[in-house]
Each structure stands twice: as C-alpha cells, then as structure tokens.
Chain A
C-alpha cells in the first residue's frame, strides 16, 4: 500500500499531469486510511510543509521522523483540519475528514494542555468518547466504564480518580493514550507519545501500539528517538518540510535518507520559506 517514493520521484511522476492528481484519485488511494495529495501548509504565508503526497498503509505502525521544525506536528494538524491548508487534498478511506471523524483518533503533545485543569484522569479519558456521545448528552455510566477499561489497558486504572496534576509525566501520557483508545478509532495520530516518559510507560505504550497493530489499525506517530524506530515501527516517513522518503522501515530508514533528512545545511526549501517570510515582513 505504501508508495515507497521520495518527493523527487513523485514530482517526476506528475510532470506529465497538470491536474496534479487532485481531480482523479489514484485507484490505490481509495482504500487507504489516509491519503494526502499535494498538500502545502503555511503559517502566515510562510510555508512549513511543501507539496506532501502520502498514502498510509492499511494497518501497522508508522513513525514520522525529522528534525525540529520539519513540520511533523503540522502534518498531523493539517490532516485533521486543525490548521488550514494552502492547497492539496486529504482523504480518509476516500472521504473527507468530517465524514470520518469517528474513525480517527488523536493524541496531541502532552505540553499542549494545562495539566492543572480541574478534572480527574477518568474525566480526561471519557473526553475521547464525546464524539460518540454527541452534543448536550451527559457522559453515561456505560461510557465511564468504557473509559475505565481504557485506563486498565494502559495500566493505571487505580489512578482513575486522581486530579491530573497529581500524575507523573509518564502517567499523564498514559491518560492521553487511554483517551485515544476510548475513541475506538481505526486510524490514530500520536504526537510524540514517547517524549519525556519513564521506561515503564514506554513499555506500556509500545504494548498498546502492538495491540492496535494486531487489531489491524494504523497508528502514525511523531517519533524523536532514532534508535528505537526500527524496533517499534515497520513504516517510516522521513520529513523535513517535505516528505524526503516514506515506506517500510527496511527500505527507507537508511543512512543516506537520514542524511538527506537531517543534513546540516539549510535546505533549498528552508531558504525559500525564509524568503517568503522576508517578503511578508517587507524586507524583500
């Protein structure tokens, strides 16, 4: 399912088709949980992601790897419609996101929320079920029990009643993971679930990821630790403002590709982005 192609190859493939694949979906994209075509994302006109093409595998664990500022979180947020796209198309099982919301789960970065918020761990986990519960209806007992079962799966059911500021960093990350499980999605986006967690939490997260893979789900994780990519994931996206390469770890996660992703020199794209920003500031 993976199109194990770098952006270069994709560019070459498109040269003959001015429609850029936007009008006619490639046939192989239809069944893909996530297919992204020619997506460009900008913050205040400064492009941070250029012309991304990607088809996710039907099931399995995918790591997104790349240096700081490579647009990894931006990729996830743009796919979910949380930040606007400049151009391009994102489809989930061949349909737009708003028709497939229920099938897509999301774990934001742990630092993105206020952990002093007056809610318990179980309250947070139950938030994952709000999509199923719908507007204005209270969280029923059945939903709370489902939430508790998710906390059980990440190994901290005993902390269900704790206020979230009284949890350790690893426990907070597990609460977020449990909340994603409560969404009962088929495709998950996780933004750095392994960052700043203890060894026990890392094992618990890996166990959950493997269980999801065994159930035929797809999980796309922003991942920072290059050491463990091959151990935890079978697919990888190398990203640096564009997709440098994507596909099975075996073929893609090579020294040469990593060099191209993390290369110390300012890439041409980064220079172009900088030029945009300069023009925006009036410095031309």
Chain B
C-alpha cells in the first residue's frame, strides 16, 4: 500500500487531473471546430513559459502563468492577423504561428540551458510524470494533516487549482458557452459577448497547458483536448451528456494509460516501464478508435449494419413488387431464380428473397414463390409508390416517361405518409401511370 502511495498515487493523480481539465475544455474547442487552436496554444505557450521562468528565476507558478497567458494571447491575436491579412485559411494561420512560437521557445530554452538553467525541451514535450514522488505518512489518520499535504509537490496543487477553475467555468457558464458555440451572432446580439467567452476559454486552455506541462507534457495536453470530447460526441447527441462522458473518457484514458505504462511491459516479457504520459495519450486514442468503430448509433459498425439492413429490405421489396407485377400478368407464382434477379441478383437478391420468405411475405407454392396475405399488402404499397413517383416525375418534374423507371425503382422505397400526400393528394385507385398501368389504391391496413 505504501509503495502505491509514494510511487504511483501522485503521478496517477496528476495525469488524471490534467486529463480532466483538458478534457472538459476540449468539448468546447471541438464544438467550435477549433480543436487545432488547443494544439496551437499548447505549443505556443512555450516561449512565454521560458520568459516567465527567466524573469522570475524560479519555477514558481505565478510568473510562468503570466508569461504563458501572454503567449497564448499573442497566439490568438497573431492567428487572427495572419488569417485575415495573409489570405490563408485558419489551419494554415495556426500552423505558421504555433510552429514559429514553439521554435522560438526551444531556441530560448537552449540559450537558457547554456547558462545552467534547469529547463529542457524534452520535459515540456513528454513531461516528468514519474518524478512526482511523495513520502506518505505512516498512518491513515495523518493523511490529511498539514505537513503531509505540504509534502505534496507544487505541480499537483497547480493542477488541482486548474481543474477547479475549469469545472467552475464550464459549470457556471454552461448555458452561455453552449449558445456562443452554437450561434455566436445571437449570443452577441443577446449581450453575451461570444468573443470574450472565446478569449477566456483560450486563456483557460493556456492555463491547463502550463499546469500540465511540468507534470505530463504537452503531448498529453493535445491528446486530452481532443480525444475525450471526440469520443463522447460519438456516443451522445446532448451537450451535457457529452461533457459527462468526456470526463469519464478522460479519467479512463489517464488511469488506464498509467496502468498499462507501469505493468504493460511486464506482461510482454519486457522489463521496466514506458512513458506514462505517452501511454495515457495512446490509451485516449485507442479509446476513440474503439468507440468510433463500435458506438451504437454514430459508430462505423452500426452504420455498416444499418446500410446492409436497408439494402436487404429494399431487395425484399423489389422481389415482392416483381411478384405483384407477375400477378398482373396472370402468373400466380414466380420462379425463385427470376425473383432473385428482380431483387438485384447476386448476394443482394438472394438475401432479399430469403428475408421476404423469413418474414412470411413470400411462400413456396407450385412453380416457385408466391405472395402471402401480408406480402400482398406490402407489394401493393411498393408498386403504388413506384407508379405514383413515375407519375410525379413525368407530370410535375417534366421528365420523359421512358426515363423514369430506374429513378422510381430507387424512390419507391421512400414511403412516408407525408411524401405520398404530396405525390398524390387526390389520386385514387384506377388512375393510370405514365406507362398506362393502373396505380393500385392504398392497401387496407392490417388491423392493429
């Protein structure tokens, strides 16, 4: 237990808090479609940090924060200036500004390092999570006493402060932030200055970056600004829920990442451990990839399944309609092969016919397959829809009668009541389509 407290607790806590504050603010960046701005700011604060450090001569947070906030402000303004005067899109403007600012920071660090200043670029990028060390008290009762808490490194307290500020900011101004992100014009018209909210947001992003930079490094900052929010967006369509889910994702990525970094190499037979901050960022990315593939509604798998289900459904309807037309020609059943071809042939046709059989809309009879009762109702709907669309395309849209069949084959599957009212407000059974075939009336709906 003591080993966990002294070696693992603080890095874990620091990583989780950095993830939390960045994850929270990241929701707003992702929604405003300025995720790259977080990336830009997290890099561009470096010269500000170095200047603050050089001026103050210590690593105390206040001057460093002031320097970083100044650098963030310069970045935001410069990006705007480059975008408007440089005639480039905002991505390019950010790219120009943040790479120059970051390079300036690196140059400053190198100069400072020559004068034996304790600061280096690696620690800014990758952080020094593993160096957070704590001598915990001997007993649980002493855990919250003043000397014990005083032994907690300053970086952890800074992070805790930023988390509190980020939570307060998003909590108190949730309504205003949502409005300003969705419709900045209305926000400004109502008196909620969208620009000011934006500036405060960017300042907080800068603060999170600075708080995180010593402990976890800017790579984790960039990952946590985007990954949790993007992950959460795939799982919900409500902003409040999205923010909640993003917090969970941020915590899962940081705790999971730390755990993998500490014990993962052991499982693979290697010794030692990998960079905890790096592993947290990777876990955040993996989490996003997993959700992207498997999310119930917006996920890749769900979309593929939905599309396949619809294709099979449409194939089945094509098969039923083909049976209906055969019935018009006086054939009571259709040979299965012909039906599969009518349903699109190949796998699509085979699956469509099978689906119609499984739903009891087709049944085997002498000489092939025939419509059942429910199958006839659905077939009538499809053919009615097909012929109504054909009439519409010829009479209203002015297309030529011999051009409309294929289009109608696609449109016939759209059968919402509203569409049909528009197509055929007063059409009744017995009216004929452009190819002089009767348009069937509405089938009697089966008793509910």
The residues of A with any CB-CB pair to B shorter than 8 Å are 44, 77, 80-82, 98, 101, 104, 106, 108, 112-114, 117-120, 123-124, 127, 130-131, 133, 135-139, 163, 165, 179
Contacts and interface: CB of A to CB of B under 8 A. Distances in A.
B446 interface: no
B421 to A, nearest CB: 10
B346 interface: no
A165 to B, nearest CB: 8
Contacts of A77: 185
A260 B176 CA distance: 44
Given A77-B185, A117-B182, A163-B238, 17 more contacts: A44-B84, A98-B191, A106-B189, A108-B185, A112-B185, A113-B182, A113-B183, A117-B181, A117-B239, A118-B237, A118-B238, A120-B237, A124-B182, A127-B182, A135-B173, A138-B175, A139-B175
Given A112-B185, A127-B179, A136-B173, A118 B242 contact: yes
A41 to B, nearest CB: 15
B175 to A, nearest CB: 6
Contacts of A112: 183, 185
B160 to A, nearest CB: 23
B31 interface: yes
Contact of A118 (B190, B192, B236): B236
Contact of A119 (B186, B233, B239): B239
Interface residues of B, number: 27
A131 B186 CA distance: 10
A101 B183 contact: no
Contacts of A179: 186
B323 to A, nearest CB: 34
Among the interface residues A80, A101, A127, A165, which one has the most CB atoms of the partner chain B within 10 A? A127
A217 B191 CA distance: 22
5 contacts: A118-B236, A118-B242, A123-B178, A163-B237, A163-B238
Contacts of B192: 130, 135
Interface string B210-253: 00000000000000000000000100111101100000000000
Contacts of B190: 101, 130-131
A138 B174 CA distance: 8
Contacts of A106: 185-186, 189
B238 to A, nearest CB: 6
Given A118-B236, A119-B238, A135-B176, A82 B185 contact: yes
Nearest to A179: B186
Contacts of A101: 189-191
Contact of B33 (A114, A118, A165): A114
B447 interface: no
B406 to A, nearest CB: 26
Contacts of A135: 173, 176, 192
B172 interface: yes
Given A117-B31, A136-B173, A127 B183 contact: yes
B246 to A, nearest CB: 11
A131 B238 contact: no
Contacts of A44: 84
Interface string B30-53: 010100000000000000000000
Contacts of A133: 175
